[in-house]
């Protein structure tokens, strides 16, 4: 009896066609299962450390830095650091298991190989990495790089699969890695291709991976790359409302009836400040893409690190001028509504009241200015307290801006606050200018405070004496004789002074 088994290994199919090889496969499976059971049955305390390579290497040799986790799984780790004088060449992994007196210990290792850029002595400064949620420190070291030497054959016990010898495979056969075509792309999208000055549009940079993608991909130094990407993404002639993406998680989406995982990297709403066309250049993102072994083994290294750069397409957003209007240069643009509150509609002259003028809606909330109040003697209005709330969600920026006014009526009567409080904006829903006006009406009773207002102004001490002075008319010529006598007296004094001066001389 012949049984046929086909294993789908990324890009190759391996077929066994004999009962003998089927038995060997079962034996290998049983042996592998036994090892897994032993791992689960006993364990030691987990130990994590960073191992550095030798103090001296040849120019044509690699310097390894390893993450070692003993008696536990390697779940997560930071990017390996960069060092002057070395370049990264890729990672490899090793696993080992020891059984001593019935006790099992395991070790998992990730090795980053650094290639020297030349000869000399290089200093690796102290560094730290977060491994399995724990910050692990390394003291660093000096590494001397000498002339190139002849490479020795690799006799590492982890460079081959022990099952290959057990099942008759050749130990000397090198591992062949193949590059699998990825089904992924980088895209920069905008929700509008044409906007008015002040009208917001949302730009999103995302990485898409198809649900049936088989090429292993991983982000590479994403934080460092995003710092450079944002310099290119942010237009100079726009106000930015950043959505501040903190966690990058896959979001299921459908594109052309095909499922993808969407990883949103950056999102912001921009509000143009002038009519200059907004141009987004192509953005590039470097990803780690692994090559996979054509014939995967149980203990051997089954993938090889490589890199792939993805590019987005250029985008352009046209900006147009608002229609003619006296306030075209000052108005906000968006979809807004008014909400107002007042503590009392029935007042007495001189009695203070509070009034809240709140603007809600979609648009650049930060650019909303307070209503421009006309000058009036009927009320005293004071500068408002301002409260702002901005929400960034569902690819839109919404919020509110509230102006809290304090006022005092000076004249009795019925007063419409619409005569004082109105706010003009460009309504995107109507594609025209619109005005938000107050609907509140105040009923004011009491005496006019206009005269009290005049009294409140201090005109000085001269006017304060008016009511105490005699208001009878007097003849201004009655003092002419007195003025003549005073002038004669002054003349006589001058003559006597001159006579005494010359007599002493």
pLDDT tens for 103-141 read 666 777 888 888 888 889 999 999 999 998 889 999 999
Mean pLDDT in residue range 359-364: 95
Statement: residue 14 has pLDDT above 70: no
Tokens 């003559």 correspond to: 495
Phi and psi at 164, nearest 5°, equal: -65, -45
- By mean pLDDT, which of 219-228, 369-378, 482-491 is the weakest? 482-491
d(CA 387, CA 399): 11
Q: Which residue has the higher pLDDT, 6 or 237?
A: 237
Residue 204's pLDDT is 95
Q: What is the 3-state secondary structure (H, E, C) of 225-275?
A: HHHHHHHHHCCCCEEEEECCCCCCCEEEEEECCEEEEEEEEEEEEEEECCC
pLDDT given at position 356: 96
Query: In this predicted model, which residue has the larger pLDDT, 11 or 429?
Result: 429
Please tell me whether the overall predicted TM-score, pTM, comes out greater than 0.75 for this model.
Answer: no
- Dihedrals φ, ψ of 322, to 5°? -70, 155
Instruction: Tell me which residue of 339, 392, 335 sits closest to 361, measured CA to CA.
Output: 335
The average pLDDT across 389-396 equals 89
Q: What does DSSP say about strands 346-348 and 441-445: parallel, antiparallel, or unpaired?
A: parallel
CATH code of 42-159, in short, is 2.60.40
Whole-number Å distance between alpha carbons of 280 and 237:
12
402 compared with 294, residue with greater pLDDT: 402
- Three-state secondary structure call for residue 61: coil
> Residue 173: what pLDDT?
58
Spell out the alpha helix ranges (H) of 319-455: 450-455
Q: What is the pLDDT of residues 428-481, one digit of tens each?
A: 999 999 999 999 999 999 998 776 655 555 555 555 666 666 666 666 566 677
> Hey, do 42-159 and 332-452 end up sharing a CATH topology, with the first three levels equal?
yes
Domain range 332-452, CATH architecture: Sandwich (2.60)
Q: What gap in Å lies between CA 343 and CA 390, rounded to an integer?
A: 26
pLDDT score at 56: 92
Distances (CA, A) of 387 to 291, 358, 390, 403: 55, 9, 10, 7
Q: Is 296 exposed, middle or buried (0-12, 13-18, 19+ CB in 10 A)?
A: middle
Residues 290-324: pLDDT tens digits? 888 777 665 556 778 889 999 999 999 999 999 99
Per-residue pLDDT at 474: 63
**Residue 318 to residue 194: CA distance in whole angstroms:** 5
Instruction: Write out the DSSP string of 407-442.
Output: EEE-S-EEEEGGGT-EEEEEETTTTEEEEEE---EE
Two structure tokens written together for 39: 């791992």
Where are the chain's structural domains?
1-40, 42-159, 184-320, 332-452
pLDDT tens sequence across 37-88: 344 443 446 789 999 999 999 888 889 999 888 887 777 888 889 888 888 8
């Amino acid at each position: 009896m012949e049984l046929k088994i086909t294993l789908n290994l990324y890009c190759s199919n391996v077929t066994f066609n004999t009962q003998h090889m089927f038995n060997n496969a079962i034996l290998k499976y049983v042996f592998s299962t036994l090892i897994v059971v032993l791992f689960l049955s006993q364990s030691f305390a987990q130990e994590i450390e960073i191992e550095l390579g030798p103090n001296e290497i040849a120019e044509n040799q690699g310097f390894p830095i390893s993450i070692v986790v003993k008696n536990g799984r390697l779940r997560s780790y930071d990017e390996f650091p960069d060092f002057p004088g070395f370049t990264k060449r890729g990672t490899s992994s090793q696993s080992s298991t020891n059984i001593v007196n019935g006790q099992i210990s395991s070790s998992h290792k990730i090795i980053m190989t650094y290639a020297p850029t030349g000869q000399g002595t290089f200093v690796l400064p102290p560094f730290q990495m977060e491994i399995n949620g724990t910050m692990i420190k390394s003291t660093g070291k000096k590494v001397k790089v000498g002339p190139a030497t002849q490479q020795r054959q690799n006799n590492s016990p982890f460079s081959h699969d022990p099952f290959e010898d057990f099942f008759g495979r050749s130990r000397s056969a090198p591992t062949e890695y193949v590059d699998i075509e990825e089904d992924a792309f980088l895209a920069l999208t905008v929700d509008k291709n044409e906007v008015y000055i002040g009208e917001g549009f949302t730009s999103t940079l995302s990485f898409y991976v198809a649900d049936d993608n088989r090429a292993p991909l991983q982000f590479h130094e994403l934080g460092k790359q995003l710092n450079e990407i944002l310099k290119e993404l942010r237009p100079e002639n726009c106000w930015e409302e950043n959505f501040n993406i903190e966690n990058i998680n896959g979001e299921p989406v459908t594109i052309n009836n095909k499922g993808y995982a969407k990883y949103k990297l950056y999102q912001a709403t921009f509000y143009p400040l002038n009519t200059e066309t907004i141009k987004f250049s192509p953005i590039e993102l470097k990803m780690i893409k692994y090559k996979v072994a054509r014939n995967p083994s149980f203990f051997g290294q089954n993938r090889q690190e490589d890199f792939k750069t993805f590019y987005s397409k250029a985008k352009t957003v046209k900006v147009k001028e608002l229609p003619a209007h006296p306030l075209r240069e000052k108005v906000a643009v968006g979809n807004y509504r008014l909400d107002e509150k007042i503590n009392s509609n029935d007042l007495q002259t001189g009695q203070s009241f509070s009034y809240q003028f709140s603007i809600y809606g979609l648009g650049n909330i930060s650019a909303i200015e307070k209503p421009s109040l006309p000058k009036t003697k009927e009320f005293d209005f004071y500068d408002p307290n301002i409260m702002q709330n901005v929400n960034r969600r569902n690819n839109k920026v919404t919020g509110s801006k509230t102006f809290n006014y304090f006022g005092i009526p000076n004249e009795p009567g019925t007063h419409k606050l619409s005569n004082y409080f109105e706010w003009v904006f460009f309504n995107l829903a109507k594609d025209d200018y619109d005005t938000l006006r107050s609907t509140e009406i105040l009923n004011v009773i009491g005496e006019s405070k206009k005269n009290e207002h005049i009294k409140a102004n201090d005109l000085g001490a001269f006017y304060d004496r008016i009511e105490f002075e005699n208001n009878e008319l007097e003849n201004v010529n009655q003092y002419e004789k007195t003025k003549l006598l005073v002038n004669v007296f002054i003349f006589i004094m001058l003559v006597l002074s001159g006579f005494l001066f010359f007599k002493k001389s």
